[in-house]
Amino acid sequence: MKTFFITALAIIGALAIAAIAPDLISGNKNVKQNSKQTNTSIKNKQDMNKVKEIYFAGGCFWGTEHFFKQVRGVVSTEVGYANGNTTNPTYKEVCYTNTGFAETVKVIYNPDVLKLEQLIDLYFKTIDPTSLNQQGNDRGSQYRTGIYFTDAGDSEIIARKLIELSTNLTGRVVVENLPLKNFYTAEEYHQDYLGKNPGGYCHIPKNLFEYAKNANPAPAPADEYKKPDDKTLKAELTPLQYEVTQHAATERPFQNEYNDEFREGIYVDITTGQPLFVSTDKFKSGCGWPSFSKPISEDLIVEKDDNSYGMNRTEVRSKNGDAHLGHVFNDGPKDKGGLRFCINSASLRFIPKDEMAKDGYEKYLSLLEKK
């Protein structure tokens, strides 16, 4: 039933594109604006080629905006009222009359730095997706959850992420997936409210703001995690580590260092020390090798076609170290995105949580936080 409901949401979203916003299909992104709002689209056409926009309704918009402001790749944010039935609503009208608006955050982001899928995954951490018209202590239809788009192509991505989310939830997911019908900027005192009032009310746990800061880390400077020369690698690595990372060998299943390692911590490239995976994304797959649902960032790895041994596989290598790590398959847990990064223990070094600060990885501690 859960999957059926989410699929229905996707179908409704598609129908809504045709019925409510036909201009979206032809590429016209103009939606109803109010006079006190800056234009939904970036005016500079050159900038338009570099950024995209998406709208998140996630309860009180103070916390949702502050959360997205922390994420690398977010260019700007703005709070307002979306998908309602009147024009130029005030905060009081949205709260106390039947305007149909949702408190919403407009997010402008750079898709070369931050993918929509990443934004949606982060958004899910801030909400209870099964709670209808309530987030935290805030109740009312204006606090409903929804993702509203101006690019019709985003609807399929949103629908897929909602289906993934629903897989292991017992309740029905009630997050809307709809085209943006209208958006009106909220009053000035609402803009960056928590930035101006750090002690202000927020339904989002404060530890998630720190998580957001590190959720999309910038690629490390080339000299920070530099690959050593071959002579150094041979001296510092074990014979197995050298063969796996440099010659794409494969260690024995089950008889390796990290297959059964499930303590909290971080996994780094054995050749460079660059962080690649965190324990919160590790799961038991039964394959005999450490399995992860995703890397810390897609920018940290390189995927290549591998047709060796008569098989068609996708090899995974570290970007900075060019070390062979393993392979990625499409048989991972659906609720974690459906991928299984099958990685050789010999390609990794595990650093337990209580040693991360001592070893210089303190800034990655927030990635171990669980909602």
* Band (156; pLDDT cuts 50, 70, 90): very high
Mean pLDDT of 68-83: 97
Residue 203 shares a structural domain with residue 173: yes
* Cα–Cα distance, 159 to 118 (Å, whole number): 14
Residue 320 shares a structural domain with residue 200: no
Alpha helices (H) in 114-153, listed in sequence order: 116-124
Closest CA to 109 of 44, 55, 180: 55
Residue 110 shares a structural domain with residue 25: yes
Residue with tokens 């994420």: 71
User: Which tens digit of pLDDT belongs to each residue from 188-213?
Assistant: 999 999 999 999 999 999 999 999 99
Residue with tokens 């997010």: 107
Q: Judge whether 161 lies within some domain.
A: yes
Ranges of beta strands (E only) in the chain are 52-58, 74-82, 102-109, 134-135, 138-139, 145-149, 176-179, 183-185, 265-269, 275-278, 282-283, 291-292, 301-306, 313-318, 324-329, 340-343, 348-352
Please identify which of the residues 60, 95, 202, 287 carries the catalytic annotation: 60
Q: Judge whether 329 lies within some domain.
A: yes
Residue 181 shares a structural domain with residue 241: no
Q: Is the pLDDT of residue 10 over 90?
A: no
Q: For the domain that residue 6 is a member of, what is the CATH number?
A: 3.30.1060.10
The domain boundary, picked from 214, 244, 276, lies at 214
* Band (262; pLDDT cuts 50, 70, 90): very high
- Across 27-31, 112-116, 137-141, 171-175, least confident range: 27-31
Q: Phi then psi for 232, rounded to 5 degrees?
A: -65, -40
Q: What is the mean pLDDT of the chain?
A: 88
pTM of the model: 0.65
* Cα–Cα distance, 285 to 331 (Å, whole number): 9
Residue 296 shares a structural domain with residue 347: yes
Q: Judge whether 253 lies within some domain.
A: yes
* Cα–Cα distance, 152 to 340 (Å, whole number): 29
Q: For the domain that residue 254 is a member of, what is the CATH number?
A: 2.170.150.20
* Band (20; pLDDT cuts 50, 70, 90): very low
Q: Judge whether 371 lies within some domain.
A: no
Is the model more confident about 30 or about 199?
199
Q: Judge whether 142 lies within some domain.
A: yes
* Cα–Cα distance, 53 to 246 (Å, whole number): 42
Residue 106 shares a structural domain with residue 235: no
Q: Judge whether 102 lies within some domain.
A: yes
Q: Is the pLDDT of residue 71 over 60?
A: yes
For residue 144, the enclosing domain spans 2-214
Closest CA to 304 of 248, 358, 361, 221: 248
107's tokens: 């997010």
Residue 60 shares a structural domain with residue 200: yes
> Residue type for 95, please?
C
Residue pair 280/305 in contact (Cβ under 8 Å)? The answer is no
Handedness of CA 97, 193, 212, 83 (dihedral sign): positive
User: Which tens digit of pLDDT belongs to each residue from 211-229?
Assistant: 999 899 887 666 688 999 9
Residue pair 142/102 in contact (Cβ under 8 Å)? The answer is yes
Of all helices (H) and strands (E), which one includes residue 13?
A: helix 2-20
Q: Is 60 a catalytic residue?
A: yes
Domain tally, the chain: 2
* Cα–Cα distance, 258 to 254 (Å, whole number): 9
Q: Is 202 a catalytic residue?
A: no
Residue 34 shares a structural domain with residue 116: yes
Q: Judge whether 219 lies within some domain.
A: no
Residue 45 shares a structural domain with residue 188: yes
Q: Phi then psi for 175, rounded to 5 degrees?
A: -75, 125
* Band (48; pLDDT cuts 50, 70, 90): low
Other beta carbons within 10 angstroms of residue 25's beta carbon come to: 11
pLDDT-above-70 percentage for the chain: 85
Residue pair 342/324 in contact (Cβ under 8 Å)? The answer is no
pLDDT at 217: 84
The contacts of residue 15 (CB under 8 Å, 6+ apart) are none
